Each structure stands twice: as structure tokens, then as C-alpha cells.
Amino acid sequence: MNAMRNRAAGMIATAALVASFSAGLGVIRTGSTADQPTAIWVIGTLLGILALTGICSLIVVWPSRMFYGPDPAEITRWHRYGLPEGDIREYITEVMVKAYGKNDNSIHTRAIYLRIAIALVLLEVALIIITSLPR
């Protein structure tokens, strides 16, 4: 999970850097494209992509609770009450399986948002390259 969060933080930094670079291209137009300002739709699209990348990255880096299994105090209490060891082990196993499922769903969802952020940054770079080409 930490590696995924680090990648998402890097993704938003990359998106901001690309947006900054594209703004510089729009301001410093020289040569054959000096008289052709950047189209408003391109600027709006780049801002939208940057915002969506930020939202996706924020979803990935937002703290979440990880589930590990039953409360150890509860297990100790059951031992004190004399519940059979087999019943306690069965309950612990069931709770751990549920916790694994919750964690897996959380990680899978965040991985999807990270992939979306990566695709958005690629789209952002492609849009900048395409619109920067001489017309």
C-alpha cells in the first residue's frame, strides 16, 4: 500500500510539472507558432486532466484502515470463559478471511485509481505534444 501511495504522490507531482511545462509553452510561443495562441479548449482540457489526476491520486494516498483480524483481548476473554479451542480458532480464521477480503478490495480499488491517474498523465503529455506541433 505504501508503494502505491508513493507512486500516486509522484503521479500528481508529474502532472503538475507537465501542466507547468505546458503553460510555459503557451507563454513562450516562438517561431512559426508565435501568432497562434493555445486554444482555450486545450487549456480547459489540460486543467480538467490535472484536476482528475489530482483527485485520483488523492484517493490513493488518503489514509485507510487496514483490517488484521479479531481483537486479541476478545480472544483472551474467550479463553478465560473456557470456550473450546477449536471454536475460537474457527472464529479467528473466519474474521481473518473477512479482513483479507476488505484489505484486498481496498488495495484493488486504489490500484484502479492509480492506473487512471497514469493514463491521465499520458493523455496530458500527448495533448501537449500534439498541440505544440507546428500547424
How far apart are alpha carbons 134 and 34 in whole angstroms?
A: 10
Res 116 pLDDT > 90: yes
- Provide the CA 41 distance to its chain's centre, in angstroms: 26
Res 2 pLDDT > 90: no
Res 24 pLDDT > 70: no
Residue 91, burial from CB neighbour count under 10 angstroms (0-12, 13-18, 19+): middle
Q: Which is higher by pLDDT, 39 or 78?
A: 78
- pLDDT value of residue 112: 93
Single pTM value for the model:
0.69
- pLDDT value of residue 54: 87
- pLDDT value of residue 52: 92
> Could you tell me the three cell numbers for 114?
492509480
Q: Which is higher by pLDDT, 128 or 52?
A: 52
- pLDDT value of residue 128: 81
Res 65 pLDDT > 80: no
